[in-house]
Amino acid sequence: MAQRTFDRYYATGGLLDSFFGRNRLVDDLAADDFQMLRAKMAKRWGPVALRNEIQIVRSIFRYSHEADLLEKPVRFGLSFKKPSAKTIQAALAARGPRMYTREQIHLLLQAASPNMAAIFLRGGNCGLGNTDLGMLPVAAFDLAGGWLDYARQKTGIARHSPLARNRQCGANRVIAVKLLELLSDSPDEQSVVAENVILPN
């Protein structure tokens, strides 16, 4: 489990602790308790975040039962449900698109260091998140062909996107330097990297 995921579950566990009380027996929890919990959560979060938090709460109790920490599964009642797909779609539509414009991306790249430019380009062009960027394997980079081929860790969905074609691109230099470090025991593969990206002095 990633640290970010653990922190999210830990925070939700803290919410359960503060709402129900640390000494409350799980066997004593009933549908009306979860109905009140959902009402409190709905005041704090919008439909999208509420959906995620309800799923986490359910996952915590389900894991506890499957790990034999609880004798019987928790009964949440009929009200402790995630918002409907229609409600979530309406909330997303009301919020509007959350996208960078072409001009904003160019401003970010102009101000960014080569390392950050590499992150921006991979995130923007490939739809990769922080975990994806941190877990990218060497084999995902085809510098000779100019492509990135990678299946996301979270979903398994493939990402096939072009790398910057400019051989002087600072982002490509950063990638190449990292690849050369990782391929220190593979001279032949190092030569492929060096031939396809102009490295900094």
Query: Half-sphere exposure of residue 148, counting CA atoms within 13 Å on the CB side?
Result: 25
How many Å apart are CA 11 and CA 52, to the nearest integer? 13
Q: Given its phi and psi angles, is residue 163 left (phi above 0), alpha (psi -120 to 50 degrees) or beta?
A: beta
First to last CA, the chain: 39
Residue range 155-188, pLDDT digits in tens: 777 778 777 655 445 555 556 556 555 555 555 5
Q: Which two tokens stand for residue 168?
A: 């002087």
> Count of CB atoms within 10 A of residue 108's CB?
15
Q: 34: closest CA among 51, 64, 57?
A: 57
**pLDDT on residue 188:** 53
Report residue 149: phi and psi, to 5°. Answer: -120, 115
pLDDT tens-digit series, residues 24-78: 999 999 999 999 999 999 999 999 899 999 999 999 999 999 999 999 999 999 9
Angle at 117 between CA 8 and CA 128, to 5 degrees: 40
Entry pTM: 0.59
Q: What percent of the chain has pLDDT over 70?
A: 78
